[in-house]
Structure 1
Amino acid sequence: MADTKTLTDHDDIRNWAAARAGKPALADPAPGMPGEEPVLLIAFGQQAYMDTDEGADPIGGLQLVEWDEWFRLFDERELALVVSEDVPGQRDEFHEIVRR
């Protein structure tokens, strides 16, 4: 596995996601998981597309949100984003949201 770095700065996270066309999102917790709080994630590819003409109809429990809401939860839960170090010519989407 490639070397990783941990991001907590909002601008760094936003820039990392933007470079990969990622969007902030929330997902329903998996059945049987403790707690009922939505899960923070960054959506890529088709998951990052939402037809705003149709309204915010979450598919499979995934809902795209604004960065402000995502970062509010991110900070309240004291989380950090672990990503792969950038390698020239590659845009790795690996990421993991962990406790600080």
Structure 2
Amino acid sequence: MASATKTTDHDAIRKWVEERGGCPARVDIKRHKQGGGILRIDFNDPGGEEDESLEHIGWDEFFKIFEENELAFLHQDKTADGQVSRFNKFVSRSGDED
């Protein structure tokens, strides 16, 4: 099983996302009654359907929300079979020393 890495480093997060063709996004507040602003990374594959529940945001806004919510970015560089991985998740940074 491939391992995942947790980081709070803004430059490392941005580099990882952009190397995989992703962009910063959040759940569109206007479309969800249960609130919004939940961070996501959008990997809009060519020819794929656009996820209308996501709102693209700039990196400054993304990292503002990231810091306000004291998040860390859990990500995987390679899959178990050596392919480039897009696995990522936002987790609480409580207890982190980053």
TM-score (norm 1): 0.73
Partner in structure 2 of residue 45 of structure 1: 44
Task: Let me know the Cα RMSD of the aligned residues.
Answer: 2.7
Equivalent residue number for residue 6 of structure 1: 6
Structure 1 residue aligned with 2:71: 79
Q: 2:25 maps to which residue? A: 25
- Equivalent position to 1:95, from 77, 88, 98: 88
Shift of 1:28: 3.4
Q: How many residues align?
A: 88
CA distance in 1, matches of 2:65, 2:3: 27
Tell me, in whole angstroms, the C-alpha distance in 1 between the residues paired with 2:92 and 2:85: 22
Instruction: State the AA in 2 paired with 1:98.
Output: V
Matched residue type, 1:42: I
Q: Percent identity?
A: 37
Partners of 1:79 and 1:96 lie apart in 2 by 10
Distance change (3 Å), C-alpha of 1:60 and 1:85: closer
The match for 1:15 is: 15
- CA drift of 1:62 comes to 1.0
Other-structure match for 2:96: none
Ranges in structure 1 where 5+ consecutive residues have no aligned partner:
48-57
